[in-house]
Amino acid sequence: MNVTIKKLQQKQLNKDLELISTIVLNQFNLTEQLMNETCRDAVCKQIAENKTAIDNLKVLITKKLSTMIILFTPKATELREIVSCHETIFFLERIDDMLVDIVNCLKKIEIGSPEYAEFKSHLKKIFASLKKMISASAFSFFKKDKFQACQIIEKEYDIEKRCREIDENL
């Protein structure tokens, strides 16, 4: 009985992680729409709704992870998977927070200015890297690919550096 519940819990956890990854990728698309000045109010509203959904999912998943630790007394490999899922969730939430910060800046910035053109150029490069990282992190988590997970961690430092540069320029 306990094993069946554990497997169902892990299956649901994977679905939740896939859902939060999909929502964060959608946040990228919406932020890119804002960068191109498309449907500004509707896009901002959708970004805010997605932010709430991501925050709620994070709380739900964190509770599930805690429950799994308490109820199932996981083995070391299972515990590493739980911690990995937890780190992935916080990584995705951090990216979403960054996107919301960018959206708030986009609301205030003058789109026709030369500074905006430079900002947009840097942002597009970061977006391309982050989108690949999110897809790769989800893939490495589901396939338990340790090599790819290590590559993602290395790329994360580069993206953090770029994000700090943008923050300073803003």
Residue range 154-167, pLDDT digits in tens: 666 666 776 677 66
> Any residues with CB less than 8 A from the CB of 100 and at least 6 apart, and which?
27, 47, 51
Cβ proximity of 17 and 54 under 8 Å:
no
Q: Which of 16, 2, 1, 144 is nearest to 73 (CA)?
A: 2
**Secondary-structure breakdown of the chain: helix, strand, coil percentages, each rounded to the nearest 5:** 90, 0, 10
Whole-angstrom distance, CA of residue 47 vs CA of residue 158: 25
Q: What is the rounded average pLDDT of the residues 134-146?
A: 67
Using one digit for the tens of pLDDT, what is the confidence trace for 6-42? Answer: 777 888 888 888 899 899 989 988 988 888 876 688 8
d(CA 134, CA 74): 26
Q: Which residue has the higher pLDDT, 27 or 87?
A: 27
